[in-house]
Amino acid sequence: LIATSARFGAMLSGTDRDIVETLTKFGEKIGMAFQLADDVIDISSDASQSGKVPGTDLREGIPTLVTLQIISSKLEEDQELRHLLQNPIPEEKIAEVLIKLRQHSALKDAKSYLHNLSREAKQLLEPLPAIPARSALEGLCDAVIERTA
How many domains does the chain contain in total? Answer: 1
Q: Is residue 149 pLDDT above 60, yes or no? A: no
Alpha helix positions (H), 1-149: 2-13, 17-44, 47-50, 56-60, 65-71, 79-85, 91-103, 105-124, 132-146
Which residues touch 76 (CB under 8 Å, ≥6 apart)?
none
Residue-range definition of the domain harbouring residue 70: 2-146
For residue range 93-144, list pLDDT tens digits in order. Answer: 999 999 999 999 999 999 999 999 999 999 999 999 999 999 999 999 999 9
How far is residue 10's CA from residue 108's CA, in Å, rounded to a whole number?
Answer: 35
Per-residue pLDDT tens over the stretch 5-47: 999 999 999 989 999 999 999 999 999 999 999 999 999 987 7
For residues 65 and 113, the answer to whether their CB atoms sit within 8 Å is: yes
Q: For the domain that residue 121 is a member of, what is the CATH number? A: 1.10.600.10
